[in-house]
Structure 1
């Protein structure tokens, strides 16, 4: 089980024109926004990464508008874990469970998840908050990540798992995000 006190949200490369051509884009964007808002309610650290932002453009507003207090980490490697700034930011959280969301599932998300697992992190991939341009690439990526040891979850499931109890102000806020 995930614990909110031991978990970080990692957002991978949801940027520019590439984000606009993802399979099931509208659902993806809605789930990503819900997860960012939920992570803030639950006080999870958020590590936000962009692939070649000067070429691919900025993160979509559905995410960036909720993260004014921080700056994304720019990278040029497919795996976030090859970026020393990413590794430092993740280590600074002191947490060993990671929820991964973003694009593309079969490239940057997949390679990041594999390296996080190799580094000893517990990794959960939010299946309805990752995508690729083609649905079959996303499906293959989810299968390979699960075979490698990552857990699969979905937006609503992970938020309620992290919340753990059906009471309190945080629960009410999470509930309002899901409805």
Structure 2
């Protein structure tokens, strides 16, 4: 009898995931200032890797139909257009252009976030120490939960990036990576409706893990687990 009760308890627990988990139904993804001029000044990590992570995150949001807000700063006068591979994931979507470094001080941006109806915000942007940290602190102060995608963000130096991440964590933000977000959305390889799209994103942007999936699918078959 004791063993049966234990199994029942375990089943009840696994059927009720933690409210802290990100799901396609409880969050919005915000991309802030992934623009040429901002990339020129990014020195915290490999810029190609940041671009790869950014586009991977975008495809994760697109695959699961997660509300997404795209924003730029001074696109026509200084920073240039939104990263083309990022814009290509969301063709025709409005891009909120601002003059303020803190996106949360821009009314159209905040209205776009509020229109998603989500209280969990997944944020990535350039630079970490300005255009990510400022809206993150502002959103936290207004009761939002913020998850910062650190590998899809970059600062002017490693110290600037790391100190900004530390500051946000101390304020209550949660650091994540783009692949973590994608797999947290999927969470079960038996979800066949998104399995193919998720594995395609991993193959294209997941580095060695993606190559592993290519190999597994070639040797084992298309239904090999991720």
Instruction: Give the TM-score of the pair, scaled to structure 2.
Output: 0.76
For this pair of structures, how many residues does the alignment match?
179
Report the equivalent of 2:224.
Answer: none
Which of 73, 88, 98 aligns to 2:111? It is 88
Give 1:137 deviation, angstroms.
0.4
Give 1:172 deviation, angstroms.
2.4
Which of 34, 49, 55 aligns to 1:33? It is 55
**Which one has a bigger Cα radius of gyration?**
2
Per-residue CA shift, 1:24-66, capped at 9, x if unaligned? Answer: 1000000001111110001001101101112211011121122
Report the equivalent of 1:68.
Answer: 91
Structure number with the bigger relative contact order (C-alpha 8 A, sep ≥ 6) is 1
Report the equivalent of 1:166.
Answer: 189
- Gap runs ≥5 in structure 2: 1-20, 203-209, 211-226
Report the equivalent of 1:175.
Answer: 199
Report the equivalent of 2:12.
Answer: none
Cα RMSD for the two superposed structures: 1.1
Aligned-partner Cα distance in 2 for 1:151–1:58: 29
Q: How does 1:110-149 map to 2 (within 5 A)?
A: 110-149=133-172
Give the number of the structure whose residues are more often strand, by fraction. Answer: 1
CA contact (8 A) 1:14 1:50 kept: yes
CA contact (8 A) 1:32 1:62 kept: no
